[in-house]
Structure 1
Amino acid sequence: MTKKKVLIILYYWPPAGGPGVQRWLKFVKYLPEFNIEPIVYCPSNPNYPIIDKSLKDEIPNGITVISQPIQEPYRFAKLLSKKSYKSISSGVIPKRKRQSLVERLMLFVRGNFFVPDARKNWVNPSVAFLSDYINKNVIDTIITTGPPHSLHLIGLHLKQSLNIKWVADFRDPWTTIGYHKSLKLMNFAKKKHIQLEQKVLNTVDEIIVTSNHTKNEFSLKSKQPIKVITNGYDNNSVAINSKDDKFTISHIGSLLSERNPLVLWEVLSELVSENQLFANAFQLSFIGVVSDSIINTVKSFGLINHLNILGYVNHDKAIEFQKKSQLLLLIEIDSEDTKAIIPGKLFEYMISETPIIAVGPKDSDVETIITESNTGSYFLYSEKEKLKIKVLSYFEDFKNGPLKSNPVGLQKYSRRNLTEKLSDILHQLYS
């Protein structure tokens, strides 16, 4: 049987680091098993804020990757302030009262002159290039994935001009995504976002989202079919000799300014003050891009001597830290908007067999997944005493040996099983 050709239009592709690249790298890996030939389209000169060259080794042999240049304003922003450029392009936006004049200017320009995002200038050149490529190579379906949501506009134009089947994958929501509130959007920009979102959601043939909350949100905006395909985990060969000797609590991945759970730092500070054994054993590790405001807050709670800041590491090293730690932190902003956010690292946390402590909003999708999979404990920002009791309970268990979780029902989150769900959607479009 001839494989169906699917053109995947994306921005994040190796050597990009971070969670944005993992989802489609794994889909591309497994799609050929389901009689689908993936063709990847990405920028030839991207301005990735995080680089992980090790991920290039995971690109499957024989996969067709085509590319075109992109013009990005972040290159010019770097001239104004290299530090601010790197921070904001990584998603770490300083709190409003701590923003410099340059940072406020950069956010205002980004929010109002680049709708829907800073990659908008790639839309028209991509449409021109891909229109010709699709006709010459008999492509059956296109897939766009965002953020950046400007890539969905490429899909919109190709759908309108070629009447090709189109699937839009939303790794995060669009107009309700948390950082929009930090972009100083004027009314015209807000309206433009809403108009573009409506047009995409009502023109596309199929919508894929990563959480039930986003599905519920989009179902009020579109009558098109919506499927939930979460992020997931892939099998890895990373092995460790032993767990950390210390009672290491680690956060792995980006930790943005607003993800700053004072209740957690207060609990840890109190335990350090009240329990000398805890103080002697405790270490708080940050692995990844972390906002300066969070580091300063942690220091203000008297935890500086327990803080271990390691910065960004490659993917295999991140997995190693997940397995070596005694507890893993998952932190989300306490907001209605973030109930739909399921960080990609959650699923790798889950298979590390290291217990998770998560802090976030009530009734989030993350809370449901952690509870159903028996992989850790979830707390609201208001549950200080419950959180303190649980951390102390974990510490008491740690004194008897390394901590280990006992997960259940994880197979449905394997990358291969998730790709099978995607392939079912694609084959149904062909029939």
Structure 2
Amino acid sequence: MRRVLFLAYDFPPIASPAAQRARHFVRYLPVHGWQPVVVTPRAGASWAYDPAGLADLPAELELCRTPTAEPGRALRRLRSDTGTARADGDGDPSPLGRRLREWLLVPDSQAGWIPFAATRALKQARTVEVVLTTSPGSAHLAGALASRATRTPWVADFQDPWSTPAFQQWQGRWRPWIDKRLERAVVCRADRLVATTEWLAEHLASVGARQPPAVVANGYEPAEQPQASGSDEHFTLLHAGSFYGPRSPEPLLAAVAAALEAEPAMRACVRVRLLGLQDARNTARLAGSIRRLGLEQVVEQAGQVPRREALTAMRAAAVLTLVADPLEGGRGLIPLKLYEYLAAGRPLLALTPPDGEAGRLAQAAGGTVVHPSNVAAAASAVRRLYRGWQAGESGGHAPAELVERYRWDKLTAKLAHILDDTAARRRP
């Protein structure tokens, strides 16, 4: 069996979407003749952990956990001690946070892992056929060093853009300049590029990819889907996923409040359930919005729950909701939760630009798509979905062929084909 060196900062027990992508690639690559050798930090900085993600990893997996330095943790402690900024992670617009991020966290908050990852990768790269790296940028830089030193072919998997202005909102003057050059160095050096959406693939191609990037989307795992569950007594609009930085549930809450104002009788039945964590800014802002909109008895903030519980809650919800990232680049990405929503088979309300990547997929799945700024249209959609729920309409079933397309085993088969092709062109 051929070996692939896989550098992934996010990996179980971390419970992030990036960790789910890495986890399922590792599970299914051996089926296609590739044995992963995973390099990941021992204790990366993450909001959420779920040990259940370790349970189904292959027994023969070679897992190399390295030390890591986390400047972001020290920065958060400093911000907390000085009282000059929020202790909410990377998206900090304060002068102190902006300056320290600009100078210390290059290319991202995981920069302290680069020397440890590169050192371990250099030891392993001569024993593998291909180096595979996945976002963030720090993993790509560590993989680039190992690939170049050992002349091992390299596949770079991009889950997010690197240098687009929308993803640099708190950076200083010189960071866009250096980020563009780092991104270009990775894009031009990698033997193959993989992107999660068509928009991201087009962006990477415009940066200077050697050949057109391949698209390997995120997906869902059929074996994880719980048995069909009856809905509860309430009309529950569920959002599964964290809110941080500019991402906020406010468009959803505004739509629900407007719907309740138009039809007060709905209030006894309507509930909004939010699964996932929030940063400090969103926590404070959300509390104020709930009070202002009079939704104290409507909104439930459940916080982080185990993955299996979240999947079960999706099956029981009356409506699954998606709230778009308001940044310009957000329209080019598709949250992993949307694929799991499709598998859950429940009605979908997506507050996202209809012409964006997530909007197009939601429409193809038969969901209701409304721009997040159009509160009146979103409120009308909530009322229509409520009436359907009252009438006992199930709805929400995306075309089977569309859902099948995003199974992790099928997606990993595409990645394995890319690895096959890359290994066949090994550098002399």
Deviation (angstroms), 1:150 = 1.1
**Which secondary structure state, in structure 1, belongs to the residue aligned with residue 174 of structure 2?**
helix
Question: Which of 331, 336, 349 is the equivalent residue of 1:357?
Answer: 349
> Which residue is equivalent to 1:344?
336
Worse overlay, 284-293 or 264-273: 264-273
> Which residue is equivalent to 1:188?
174
Deviation (angstroms), 1:244 = 1.6
Equivalent residue letter for 2:413:
E
> Which residue is equivalent to 1:33?
31
Tell me how far apart the structure 2 counterparts of residues 112 and 324 of structure 1 sit (CA, whole Å): 46
Structure 2 CA distance for partners of 1:334 and 1:49, relative to 1, 3 Å? closer
Worse overlay, 285-294 or 245-254: 285-294
Worse overlay, 72-81 or 111-120: 72-81
Worse overlay, 190-199 or 386-395: 386-395
> Which residue is equivalent to 2:303?
311
For the 8 Å contact 2:231–2:316, the answer to whether it is kept is: yes
For the 8 Å contact 2:225–2:343, the answer to whether it is kept is: no
> Which residue is equivalent to 1:228?
215
Report the RMSD for the aligned CA atoms in angstroms.
Answer: 2.1
Worse overlay, 417-426 or 151-160: 151-160
> Which residue is equivalent to 1:430?
423
For the 8 Å contact 2:77–2:87, the answer to whether it is kept is: no
Deviation (angstroms), 1:353 = 0.9
Structure 2 CA distance for partners of 1:300 and 1:211, relative to 1, 3 Å? same
1:256 aligns with 2:249: no
For the 8 Å contact 2:72–2:89, the answer to whether it is kept is: no
Tell me how far apart the structure 2 counterparts of residues 197 and 241 of structure 1 sit (CA, whole Å): 45
Equivalent residue letter for 2:153:
K
1:380 aligns with 2:371: yes
> Which residue is equivalent to 1:406?
397
Structure 2 CA distance for partners of 1:157 and 1:188, relative to 1, 3 Å? same
> Which residue is equivalent to 2:361?
369
CA offsets 1:316-366 (integer angstroms, 9 cap, x no match):
011011111111111113343111111011100111111111112341111
Tell me how far apart the structure 2 counterparts of residues 237 and 354 of structure 1 sit (CA, whole Å): 13
1:202 aligns with 2:188: yes
For the 8 Å contact 1:261–1:359, the answer to whether it is kept is: no
For the 8 Å contact 1:251–1:287, the answer to whether it is kept is: yes
Structure 2 CA distance for partners of 1:40 and 1:180, relative to 1, 3 Å? same
For the 8 Å contact 2:219–2:339, the answer to whether it is kept is: yes
Deviation (angstroms), 1:384 = 3.4
For the 8 Å contact 1:234–1:415, the answer to whether it is kept is: yes
Tell me how far apart the structure 2 counterparts of residues 45 and 267 of structure 1 sit (CA, whole Å): 39
> Where do 1:113-152 residues align within 5 Å?
113-135=104-126, 138-147=127-136, 149-152=137-140
Deviation (angstroms), 1:262 = 5.0
Question: Which of 203, 213, 228 is the equivalent residue of 1:217?
Answer: 203
Structure 1: give runs of 5+ residues left out of the alignment: 97-102
Tell me how far apart the structure 2 counterparts of residues 110 and 144 of structure 1 sit (CA, whole Å): 23
CA offsets 1:281-325 (integer angstroms, 9 cap, x no match):
000111101321234223321112111110001110110111111
Deviation (angstroms), 1:232 = 0.3
How many aligned positions are there? 413
For the 8 Å contact 1:209–1:227, the answer to whether it is kept is: yes
Tell me how far apart the structure 2 counterparts of residues 239 and 86 of structure 1 sit (CA, whole Å): 39
For the 8 Å contact 2:39–2:120, the answer to whether it is kept is: no
Deviation (angstroms), 1:63 = 0.9
Equivalent residue letter for 2:390:
K
Structure 2: give runs of 5+ residues left out of the alignment: none
> Which residue is equivalent to 1:11?
9
TM-score (norm. length: structure 1): 0.90
Tell me how far apart the structure 1 counterparts of residues 86 and 51 of structure 2 sit (CA, whole Å): 21
**Which secondary structure state, in structure 2, belongs to the residue aligned with residue 71 of structure 1?**
coil
> Which residue is equivalent to 1:165?
153
